[in-house]
Structure 1
Amino acid sequence: MKPTEMIVPTNVTTMQTYFIILYLQNDVPLMFIGPTGTGKSTIVLNLLLNLPKEKYLPNIINFSARSSSNITQEMIMTKLDRRRKGVYGPAMGKKYVIFIGKYGCGLDRRMKGVYGPEGPGP
């Protein structure tokens, strides 16, 4: 295990893990946002990779500057089963959990360049 992947339990990480599990169990969508380098991805990935395989189907998608809608759709669809024409889903009895991260794609910098220092408006 790399030092950057180690999680030292704190009040914050324990609270975050609790809410991730609670939201997963109740089918509530969840988005973690915050400053770079605060451990969001590490906490979520650690939890997703340790979910029971018989109940959950995790999919980890990392965006980069080369990501496209076609590639993203393919990455999502490859883990799904076709139920009938136009209807796809995870294997029966499983919940499909998607983690979307961004690595080195410079999205934050590009957004500031396009929309100014405040980013896009409402």
Structure 2
Amino acid sequence: MGGGIEEVAVIGAGRMGHGIAQVAAMAGYKVKLMDIDLGTLERALNRIRWSLRKLAEKGRIEASEIERVLARIRTPTEIAEAVKDADLVIECVPEDLEIKRKVLAEIDESSPQHAI
């Protein structure tokens, strides 16, 4: 690893997670947006797609960029899969102490040594 960030894992695709994933993908990073719920992941991708279209309508991005951004986002449902190649892991799970403890422990166990 050359020391730079290439892949970002976002754990939790709810209120904040999808927006963070979108910004990271727009910046050119490979993104894994992880959630245990397939419906949440589908809604997150739909929100990202909607947001990108709005940005294109306003002239903030080229319409051709929409598919390039979406192509950078993968949606695993397992933490280990999401973080296995991550350089940066961002946790966005609900504000529940037990959930956070469990998720952070799994992130710590499954992410590469160099990951932030």
The TM-score with structure 1 as length reference comes to: 0.33
Looking at both structures, which has the greater relative contact order when contacts are Cα pairs under 8 Å and sequence separation is at least 6?
Answer: 2
- Structure with more strand by fraction: 1
